């Protein structure tokens, strides 16, 4: 009997709060040394993440080094993802500032009611390409009425990655509670050559369930963690190592 093929390692993306530059530098260095694939910088995590300052991005760039993988949240305020004309222009200015400060990519989402705001996203995607940035869609995706249809629209725009818990934005459910929905999303994303980034309660203890349910299906996915690698509000080295070990099994 032939042995089981070795499981491929899952890329891991760590979300980091960017309000304290000194702490940010320490946490970015810790992620880089541990072998994290990407870090996403967010200001104001109490508002579910806003655009970090250019200074924070510059600090993180020095700590991360020259390798790609430094992402910035692109979100002007808390609340919903429907933005005024002025807020959309502010997003465009913030995108330029992120590029100048050293980001490799931005993570954003713009909706019109419960659908993608395609004109605004098309403009942002074109701007990102012109600046050499990758553009990913954040968990505004989970607020869409028809996420499977939206995947096709995002692929046409040139979006590379999509974050999702498989649940409804704001319901608080972890990815492990939404495996059926994630399977359907992963199959469609695979057809479109999009990477699905699993978010929502991702930690070392949840990775085996995610891997068993999704690993042998079509499509590629990675992991996005925030609370699962933190203790008392700080990035915990042990929890980070445990998550990375689970992702490599």
Residue 6 covered by a domain: no
Bridge pairing between strands 161-164 and 195-198? parallel
Q: What is the pLDDT of residue 85?
A: 96
Q: What percent of the chain has pLDDT over 70?
A: 96
Residue 5 covered by a domain: no
Q: What is the pLDDT of residue 170?
A: 86
Residue 3 covered by a domain: no
121 burial via Cβ count (<10 Å: 0-12, 13-18, 19+): buried
132 contacts: CB under 8 Å, gap ≥ 6? 99
Rounded to an integer, what distance in angstroms lies between the CA atom of residue 108 and that of residue 67? Answer: 22
Rounded to an integer, what distance in angstroms lies between the CA atom of residue 63 and that of residue 65? Answer: 6
The residue among 134, 131, 183 whose CA lies nearest residue 157 is: 134
Stretch 30-52: mean pLDDT? 97
- The count of other CB atoms within 10 Å of the CB of residue 158 is 14
Residue 17 covered by a domain: yes
The confidence band for 8, taking pLDDT boundaries of 50, 70 and 90, is: confident
**Residue that has been written with the tokens 């050499």 in this structure:** 132
pTM of the model: 0.94
Residue 182 covered by a domain: yes
Instruction: Give the chain's domain count.
Output: 1
pLDDT digits (tens, 9 = 90+) for 158-210: 999 999 999 999 888 999 999 999 999 999 999 999 999 999 999 999 999 99
Q: How far is CA 248 from the centre of its chain?
A: 19
pLDDT digits (tens, 9 = 90+) for 92-114: 999 999 999 999 999 999 999 99
**Average per-residue pLDDT for the chain:** 94
Containing structural domain, residue 213: 12-248
Q: What is the dihedral of CA 193, 165, 23, 38, to 10 degrees?
A: -10
Residue 1 covered by a domain: no
pLDDT digits (tens, 9 = 90+) for 196-245: 999 999 999 999 999 998 877 677 899 999 999 999 989 999 999 999 99
For residue 221, give the CATH number of its domain: 3.20.20.380
Q: What is the pLDDT of residue 19?
A: 97
Residue 128 covered by a domain: yes
Dmax over CA atoms of the chain, in Å, equals 64
Q: What is the pLDDT of residue 1?
A: 33
Stretch 26-33: mean pLDDT? 98
Q: What is the pLDDT of residue 217?
A: 66
Point out which residues pair with 161 in neighbouring strands: 136, 195
Residue 232 covered by a domain: yes
Q: What is the pLDDT of residue 7?
A: 59
Q: Of residues 1 and 147, which shows the higher confidence score?
A: 147
């Amino acid at each position: 009997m032939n042995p089981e093929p070795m499981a491929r390692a899952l890329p891991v993306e760590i979300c980091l709060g960017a309000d304290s530059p000194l702490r940010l530098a320490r946490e970015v260095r810790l992620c880089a040394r541990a072998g994290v694939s990407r870090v996403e910088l967010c200001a104001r995590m109490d508002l579910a993440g806003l655009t970090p300052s250019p200074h924070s991005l510059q600090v993180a760039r020095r700590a991360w080094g020259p390798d790609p993988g430094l992402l910035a949240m692109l979100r002007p305020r808390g609340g919903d993802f429907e933005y005024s004309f002025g807020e959309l222009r502010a997003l465009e200015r913030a995108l330029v500032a992120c590029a100048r400060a050293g980001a490799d990519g931005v993570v954003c989402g713009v909706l019109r009611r419960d659908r993608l705001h395609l004109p605004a996203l098309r403009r942002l995607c074109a701007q990102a390409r012109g600046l050499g940035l990758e553009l990913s869609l954040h968990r505004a995706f989970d607020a869409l009425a028809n996420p499977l249809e939206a995947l096709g629209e995002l692929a046409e725009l040139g979006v590379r990655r999509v974050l999702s818990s498989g649940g409804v934005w704001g319901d608080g459910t972890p990815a492990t509670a939404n495996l059926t929905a994630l399977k359907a999303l992963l199959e469609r994303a695979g057809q479109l050559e999009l990477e699905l980034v699993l978010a929502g309660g991702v930690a070392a203890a949840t990775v085996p369930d995610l891997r068993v349910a999704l690993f042998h299906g079509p499509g590629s996915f990675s992991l996005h963690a925030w609370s699962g690698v933190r203790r008392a509000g700080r990035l915990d080295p042990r929890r980070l190592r445990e998550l990375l070990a689970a992702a490599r099994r």
